[in-house]
Chain A
Amino acid sequence: MQDAGPESPVSVLEARISLKYDYSAGQSASRFLRAIERGKLLGQRCPVDGRVYFPSRGSCPQHAVTFGDEVVELSDKGTIVTYSIVRVPSANIPLALPYIAANVLLDGADTILMHVLDAKPDQVHMGMRVQAVWKPRAEWTTSTANIMFFRAIDEPDADYESYKEHI
């Protein structure tokens, strides 16, 4: 379809592909989402090597064993492992440009969480201690969007040894 007038040639074809899904989160992610609705962050511990995966995911991707029903509740504080400075806008991101996309290692977790950080580009650094900033409690749903972004907290930087394997 063309916006141009009737004399100009038709030069563009709109080829919209629209795929409608009924998405099932599955049992493990559903438990994670129900917990985050209550402001809790759930991980699961691999019974083979003891590493804590976040979000909880039902089975270990490395050892292919079930995690069962045991869950680990994690802190909403963590450490910036790596980050990028984002200068192009994106839907669903509530922060003004430029903002920081960061890999956050939550305290108690052995996997990183990709999220956004409300910080000036000249302030962010590896090892920086951060905490989740949540939406008002009345707005919490079964969604990871309950956490709006992370923000720096007044704690000494984490020791490099504590996060180096996640870089």
Chain B
Amino acid sequence: MRPANETNDPALTALKALTASHTLEYTYKRSLGPVLSRFFTGLRARKFLGLRRPDGSVIVPPKEYDPDSGQSLDEWVEVSDQGVVRSWSWVSQPRPQQPFDHPFAYALIQLDGADTPFIHVVDVPGEANMKSGMRVKARWAEETTGVITDFVFVPA
């Protein structure tokens, strides 16, 4: 062993930091369980399915249990593939893993027949085309496989 000041090797005293690209991946597969399985199976058939709560309201996407009472829910309801934008946020610079490579809106969308909104995307040319309260409808992928990206929303 010897200290570096006894070496003439310039590489050992160069201090510019090295860099490298590094991708960290978690390739998770999540089990959906019976309720969300039915919801996603519905998407594959181009249907939006929800569950009716004891007070008569309908939640889409469904949950395994009633959010207030905790009792299990089993009355399935098909709702419309059209609905209303409740609120929205404009994405002017999409990131690589987002669903579009052009600007788009994330929006809370409440489908006709549902009492809860859920977050999804709206494909419109520009921010000026977005408005809370606007009507939208699902535009389905050519091939649906039972994933949340089987559809996007466009103005109705």
Contacts and interface: CB of A to CB of B under 8 A. Distances in A.
Interface of A: 1-2, 6, 9-27, 29-31, 33-35, 37-38, 40, 42-43, 45, 52, 69-75, 108, 142
Given A13-B147, A38-B11, A71-B3, 12 more contacts: A1-B147, A9-B38, A10-B145, A11-B32, A12-B32, A13-B32, A14-B27, A27-B16, A27-B17, A34-B14, A38-B9, A43-B1
A149 B30 CA distance: 37
Contact of A15 (B2, B13, B29, B41): B29
Contacts of A33: 18
B3 A23 contact: no
Contacts of B3: 45, 70-72
Given A10-B37, A71-B4, A24 B28 contact: no
B98 to A, nearest CB: 13
B23 interface: yes
A143 to B, nearest CB: 9
11 contacts: A9-B41, A10-B44, A13-B147, A14-B147, A23-B22, A27-B15, A31-B12, A42-B4, A70-B5, A72-B3, A73-B2
A69 B23 contact: no
Contacts of A21: 21-24
B69 interface: no
B128 interface: no
Contacts of A17: 25-26, 28
A6 B19 CA distance: 46
Interface string B25-69: 111111110001110110110000000000000000000000000
Interface of B: 1-5, 7, 9, 11-32, 36-38, 40-41, 43-44, 97, 145-147
A12 B29 contact: yes
A35 B12 contact: yes
A52 to B, nearest CB: 7
B6 to A, nearest CB: 9
A11 B37 contact: yes
A75 B14 CA distance: 22
A11 B11 contact: no
Nearest to A1: B145
A58 B53 CA distance: 61
Given A2-B146, A38-B9, A73-B2, A14 B15 contact: no
Nearest to A107: B1
A23 B20 CA distance: 5
Contacts of B2: 72-73
Nearest to A29: B18
A34 B145 CA distance: 49
B7 A37 contact: no
